[in-house]
Chains A and B, each alone.
Chain A
Amino acid sequence: MLPATSESAAVANQLPNLQQHTPPPDNYGQIKPCSHLRSVLETKAYQTVLNTYQQAVAISIAINPLLSSHLVYQLKKDGLKVSHSRLDEFKAKALRCSLCDTSNFYLVFVCLQCPHVGCYKKHGMQHAKESGHMFAIDSHNGLLFCFSCGNYTNHSDLNRIRLSCVAACLGSPNGKTGITFGNGTENDTSFDVDSNIDGYTRPLGSAIQGLKGIVNMGSTCFMSCILQTMLHNPLVRYQFFNNDLHFFNCPSQPHYNGADEMIDENSACITCLIDSAFKDFYTTPTAEGYGLTNLLTTAWYKNRLLAGFQEQDAHEFWQFLLNEFHSDHERVAELADILLLPCRCIMHSIFLGELESSIACNSCGNVTKTVDPLVDLPLEINHLNENPSLYDCLDQFTHNELLDVNYRCSLCGKESKAHKSLRIKKLSPVLSIQLKRFKHNMLLDKASKIETKVDIPLFLNLTKYASDWDETTAPDAIDTNKVYELFAMVHHQGLVNTGHYVALVKNSSGQWFKFDDSVVSYASQEEVKSTNAYLLFYISHTI
């Protein structure tokens, strides 16, 4: 954990919960209209189609399991909130197959041309054939299905309706939800990547995914692996691609963008450096590895490097980056005269959660709770059973432990035994976990490494480690907002001081890649599962 002041705890309290306001993104806008849809929309029926679509899509969003947890429904009459159970009742009734009277587990087709509702497997298709009603809205995703094509179809006008329905349900005032609908496809028809634009060089195919190695400059792998986890973190990437505040206000920009001006004590800026790394990774027309010269120079001025990173620990370097992101943001916000609270830097908006510790007095039972900022979870891997999994580590981290010193209770005033336990109070959009493999023996001044293999789930259910977990009434319930997806892992191989770091990163279609300095290669799921992890990066993934 980073040393953080109580001030930053206060900041974290005011932060909007990014998770709650970030429904899963979709790329349905890229689905093109089929010939049938195009010809219908050219007729007088255009407005009717749009109106019907809007009604049906509103229902489909109401039942979408991915979105439902983000939604708040209000009764038109009095503006009271509608509970989720009432909503479930309503949707089960509204979406029943007209022919077999089942809700088919919410998987139904809502006809675009008449009030018919048909189950997926059978009656949806049957209705289309018998009545010639070719289009229906899929209740699961809100997309239009064309039975003549046997395919989903979409149109920019329909997509706009769908997105504004989602936005309206999520209660964002201007219909924009930031991260969600990143790739604007509204005017996508006019844009052609292959056309010749002056000064535009087409990026390499792999560059679109940011697949690029980093040249090793002598034991620099502890930096490279962390850099890869940042460059392939979707939320960090989003921030950098939309980082006008820093770009237009940081005086160091010319030092990182022209390369003519030297980086010195006063101009060294980690944010500018990472910004240029993003540009290089995602737009480069060459496959050449990324050079670390500027990073080394910048980090040296910032940290008197090599003095600061004696252990060459990847985790330490990760903490260093986060701290720099925050202080760069502070500096630039001040220059731009922008309000700093709540802090929107990468550390605060993406990585910072809250940890709650409870101390229960054994003589009167009084529980005292304190909340601390949580930048990452440091998990012990000692004293576990055989073949431990990450869940065992988390169990150990949160388990109710007897304090070995006596505790002075503020309620009963007695000095007595007490139990302490830790729970996550607020989960950040990205959860970073450190398995504590490195131990430093103070007496011998020697470091050692624990090689215990820990089983790493590809998706992590954190429901029971949260402070709002209801142990007595719903111990098995899964809070779908507390499920996290592993998207990056750092592995350390070899001995403490001479070892080597490698990063494993997953792309959006589920393919893993291995970044070993300048070499990038495919990795299988099995390879990831069998890798001995040191650092883990999980991203919120509502299921």
Chain B
Amino acid sequence: MSDLEAIKAQIQNHLVDSGNYDVISKQLKLKLYECGWFDQITQVATNELKSAGGNVNFDMLLKSLKPRAEELVPSEVKEEILQKIRAYLDDTIQ
């Protein structure tokens, strides 16, 4: 494992173990629900499945949805959550 990866893993585990991950992910999830993102993605996925007529597996569906799903996240939501992660990092890393 490279040094960078080791640090990443360490931060991730701290984020999860400290309970901060649960807090931030809950806030993100609520924001995505509130702005209608979940419903949008559900529909995109449903339509994709319908038009593929059964000739699509999960891996393919995920591959085609992921970039679009990320794009559809409103920039305010992205910025707000990034802010929270930054604040967390500033607090924990000297």
Residues of A at the B interface (CB closer than 8 Å) are 85, 88-89, 92, 96, 100-106, 145, 149-152, 457-461, 476-478, 480, 483, 485, 506, 509-511, 525, 529, 541, 543
A459: chain B residues at CB < 8 Å are: 30, 33-34
B29: chain A residues at CB < 8 Å are: 543
A92: chain B residues at CB < 8 Å are: 13, 16-17
Evaluate contact between A102 and B12: CB separation under 8 angstroms.
yes
Evaluate contact between B30 and A483: CB separation under 8 angstroms.
yes
Contact of A458 among B12, B19, B23, B39 (CB under 8 A): B39
Evaluate contact between A510 and B26: CB separation under 8 angstroms.
no
Contact size range, B: 20 to 34
**Complex formed: what's the CA distance from A73 to B59 in Å?**
34
Knowing A100-B9, A102-B12, the reply to whether A151 touches B35 (Cβ < 8 A) is: no
A529: chain B residues at CB < 8 Å are: 36
Evaluate contact between B39 and A89: CB separation under 8 angstroms.
no
Which of chain B's residues has its CB closest to A478's CB?
B26
A460: chain B residues at CB < 8 Å are: 34
Evaluate contact between B23 and A477: CB separation under 8 angstroms.
yes
**Complex formed: what's the CA distance from A100 to B13 in Å?**
11
**Complex formed: what's the CA distance from A478 to B24 in Å?**
10
Q: Which among B8, B17, B22, B60 has the highest number of chain A CB atoms within 10 Å?
A: B22
Q: Chain B 1-34 against A: per-residue CB contact (8 Å), 1 yes, 0 no?
A: 1000100110011001101011101110110011
B40-48, B74-82, B86-94: which one contacts chain A? B40-48
**Complex formed: what's the CA distance from A478 to B27 in Å?**
7
Evaluate contact between A483 and B33: CB separation under 8 angstroms.
yes
Knowing A150-B60, A461-B30, the reply to whether A103 touches B12 (Cβ < 8 A) is: yes
B5: chain A residues at CB < 8 Å are: 100
The 9 closest A-B pairs by CB, nearest first: A510-B39, A150-B59, A459-B33, A151-B57, A510-B42, A150-B57, A102-B9, A151-B58, A478-B26
Evaluate contact between B26 and A480: CB separation under 8 angstroms.
yes
Evaluate contact between A457 and B9: CB separation under 8 angstroms.
no
Evaluate contact between B43 and A510: CB separation under 8 angstroms.
yes
A476: chain B residues at CB < 8 Å are: 27
Given contacts A102-B13, A525-B36, 13 further A-B contacts (CB under 8 A): A89-B17, A100-B1, A101-B9, A105-B16, A149-B57, A150-B58, A150-B60, A458-B34, A483-B30, A485-B33, A506-B39, A510-B43, A510-B46
Evaluate contact between B16 and A461: CB separation under 8 angstroms.
no
Contact of A105 among B25, B34, B46, B59 (CB under 8 A): B25
Evaluate contact between A509 and B43: CB separation under 8 angstroms.
yes
